[in-house]
Structure 1
Amino acid sequence: MSLLGYGIRRRVGSWLPQRSNSAVVITVVGLGPGDPDLVTGQTLASINGHRTRFLRTSRHPSAHLVPDAESFDAIYESADTFTAVYEAITERLIAAAAEGSVLYAVPGSPLVLERTVQLIRQSGADHRVLPAIGFLDVVWERLGIDPVEESVRLVDGHTFTTSAAGQTGPLLVAHTHAKRILSEMKLAVEAGEETTAIILQGLGTPDERIQEVAWPDLDRSIEADHLTSVYIPALETPVAHELMKSVELIHRLRQDCPWDAEQTHQSLRRHLVEETYEVLDAIDGLEHGGAQAYEHLEEELGDLWFQVLFHSELAGEAGQFTIADVARGIHDKLVSRHPHVFGDAVAADAAAVLENWEHAKVAEKNRTSVMDGIPEGLPALTFAEKVLKKGLRSSPVELSEAQLRQLAQLDHMSEESVARALLSIVELARRHHIDPEGALRIAVKDARDRFKETEGTSPQTNWVLG
């Protein structure tokens, strides 16, 4: 055996599931691209050899070849996401297989873009997958191309923007069964009438249709269904090109612009704060601003995005991280902080979501105090609000008698009255030449430190402001 062959076998064997010693057996077969004549004899024999049969979907021209089968179409109708659909199907198959061998039939080939087959493998359940003619064989024949020679990349339409990011083709996009997916694909590429795509629909069936369309008409030319795929020979600009242009722009500015070349994380700090407040101002203008206000928000978000790119570029130059690491980090963090979406946790309402979020944050950051992680760089009033809010979760807060008397003079504690009281305090500080922002920051830090000193000593510990 050659070293190459040995290496390949070792790599393949590392991810194949280990067969169990149980009687759990799931046989997976493919029903081909659509024409019943393309279903293999081995598949037909396996169908006839099983009493318990399942169909991923009955919406396939060859589904009638699997008689007395339970279809999972109802799960597609009831589940909220495709992930939930595939997990529910897998659980049902494994449960049924515990009582005896079952057959599971899927459209096309079970080895191409079949998430349920991957989940069956990962489960460790004893299974076998029979080879089948898939829709790809018919696609290459109809298009008259060799996919290897043309370097065609197969992409899932559900994840087109991320899976095909930076690509210019050729691409074959499967799972384009809805207008929404075609619309998202179209919006991910900056292309005009000169860029075309080939829509492949119902290949191998009497209703087969192959149509070349201009890119702007991608989501308007047909009624997409479960037998629809799209072939993209070439794109003038890569998928998600606008994001890539932004990254390339930062590179260019750092090289050729004297001002940009001199910037550091610290020198950009002020600009980051300013751009953030300008975004907030733009958001405040949405209530009565109409389309023009949204255009303003779009512009301000772009300015803020530039700051994110700039800091990522500086970090990349220092060999620390890139914008891709930033994107990956927030992706992984959001998955971790949403166990009710991506895990087994349950969150019945927004309050439960926030509780899960705080638990995950504490576990990730290894924090010992609820006060840890509150940025001291926040504006003083925001800083105070966060400290008080987190402190109130553990200990009640009492105002001093003098403060209580002042507040008691107010007949009604409305937002306006509180604002007037705060404004009066600021004016009083100004008259005495005191910086209210700095004074409040010092007081909040002191309150936080005193809270941390008494934290956990007694669940009923009171602490007094002032």
Structure 2
Amino acid sequence: MNGDRPRIVIVGLGPGGEQHVTTETLTAIERADHRFLRTAVHPSAHLVPDPITFDDVYESADAFDDVYHEIARRLIAAADVDGEILYAVPGSPLVLERTVRYLRDQHEVAIEILPAVSFLDVAWARLGIDPVETGVTLIDGHEFATAAADANGAVLVAHAHANWVLSEIKLSVDDPSGALDDMPAVLLQSLGTPDERIVATTWSEIDRTVEADHLTSLYLPEFRAGPGAGYVRFHQLARTLREQCPWDIEQTHQTLVPFLIEESYEVVDAIQALDPDDPTTDEELIEELGDLLYQIEFHATIAEQEGRFTIDDVTTGIHDKLVRRHPHVFATTEVEDSEDVAANWEAIKRAEKGRTSVFDGVPSSLPSLSYAHQVQRKAAKVGFDWPDVHGAVPKIAEETDEVMAAHADDDADATADEIGDLLFAVVNVARHLGVEPEAALRAASNKFRHRFEQVESLAREREIDLRDAGLDTLDALWDEIKQR
């Protein structure tokens, strides 16, 4: 049937009691000359006479995945020597059996899997549910943090074999408010054996209700994943890409700077494109915020690999800083309005940073308009400012005259210097009027671009070559578009 290839026959010993082991499995066990058991710690393990077990691997390996890989490796080696072996596992070979998954992925030996009763069949009977109609999601307890990220509704968690596993399951869900504490939960133990127990409890008590063992499962009929579960899955993805994608592996903090800036601007574009009457415009912002968040995760993953810091340091740092700088929320400080909040923020920040200049903390890598705006704003906080916009506006005319004077003198350096002063004066006017200059100039540039694209379209309709049209023709087209 399989030529001369070595073969492994895999059978399942059911969820617990002998009554759940099939006749086909018993026949295969009796016929086999070389028998292997994943673990002898199972109520029906005695049905496999004279087996070689792998319980020693559990004791020596550092992680469960190492256990399963080592068992698969030993089985392949044994089949290569003996020609055909039998491998017996608890439950069904096709339900959450990672060793079987690894054996099926290889091509060195042939695999034959006999059907078996799993703990699931008994679980559905005891819970009184149809798993298809109920839409149950089956999750391995060791992978709960990532696998449950998108789970909503009924969840059955297998391999909840110890109370520390149940504790980690509970802690993996971000629920600081305790909203999930009373969520119903059911612990299922030793299904299909005389010691069977079905215990109703709550989410907050899942790790304190029973002494969990290798035959323990957890059923959550109304599970709702918190935001932390989704982020854990995203965090693991960032690590995987950094470890396995050639492009991601090559990146450094420095090489990622252009992408960080680009993604930040794309977030701004998505915000400006939001339409309160059109919920579909949220989709672009969701995507761009995700791209920006990935940049943050990317930098944290690089730092983690270098042994410098982790994303936990980042999130803990911002959490604690926000608590410190909001004493009106988390302490006894009283404020009248948002101006008091901003003043407290600056005072707390100065005390934290030990800053001596009002300009400390202004990033020099900001876009120039934003940099000018921030520098002016900092100086204004200590009183170095015009009383209102009427003092700032005349500076535009003054700086314009100085630009033209420098130009008349044919002094390129002075002209560039005066142009800078003129732009600085315009930023000052914008600040006094409550206009963010970077956003205002971007909007004006977009408006110009949009109108000129319409000029181009109109010129194509009239078969006008813009490069040869001349300024008068371009102005006429521009005015026509503007009037529209």
TM-score, structure 1 normalization:
0.50
Aligned residue number for residue 322 of structure 1: 290
Aligned residue number for residue 225 of structure 1: 213
Change (3 A) 1:148 1:101: same
Aligned residue number for residue 288 of structure 1: none
1:181 Cα deviation after fit? 1.5
Q: Is the 8 A contact 1:170 1:233 kept in 2?
A: yes
Alignment of 1:22-421 (within 5 A): 22-99=4-81, 100-124=83-107, 125-189=109-173, 190=175, 191-235=179-223, 237-240=224-227, 317=285, 322=290, 326=294
Aligned residue number for residue 4 of structure 1: none
Q: Structure 2 CA distance, aligned partners of 1:90 and 1:233?
A: 34
Structure 1 residue ranges (4+ consecutive) displaced by more than 3 angstroms after TM superposition: 19-22, 239-244, 310-321, 327-331
DSSP-derived class of the 1:105 partner: strand
Q: Deviations over 1:315-348 (max 9, x none)?
A: 96496682598399859x88xx98xxxxxxxxxx
Structure 1: which 5+ residue stretches go unaligned?
1-18, 248-268, 274-306, 339-349, 355-437, 439-466
Q: Is the 8 A contact 1:166 1:240 kept in 2?
A: no
Q: Structure 2 CA distance, aligned partners of 1:324 and 1:208?
A: 50
What amino acid is aligned across from residue 145 of structure 1 in structure 2?
I
Q: Structure 2 CA distance, aligned partners of 1:321 and 1:66?
A: 56
Aligned residue number for residue 254 of structure 1: none
Change (3 A) 1:55 1:318: closer
Change (3 A) 1:115 1:325: farther
Q: Structure 1 CA distance, aligned partners of 2:296 and 2:120?
A: 32
What amino acid is aligned across from residue 209 of structure 2 in structure 1?
S
What amino acid is aligned across from residue 108 of structure 1 in structure 2?
G
* RMSD, aligned α-carbons: 3.7
Q: Is the 8 A contact 1:186 1:215 kept in 2?
A: yes
What amino acid is aligned across from residue 101 of structure 1 in structure 2?
E
DSSP-derived class of the 2:10 partner: strand
Aligned residues: 262
Q: Is the 8 A contact 2:13 2:91 kept in 1?
A: yes
1:242 Cα deviation after fit? 7.6
DSSP-derived class of the 1:169 partner: strand
Q: Structure 2 CA distance, aligned partners of 1:156 and 1:312?
A: 41
Q: Deviations over 1:6-51 (max 9, x none)?
A: xxxxxxxxxxxxx974331000000000011110000000001111
Structure 2: which 5+ residue stretches go unaligned?
235-256, 272-282, 309-363, 365-484
What amino acid is aligned across from residue 23 of structure 2 in structure 1?
G
DSSP-derived class of the 2:152 partner: coil
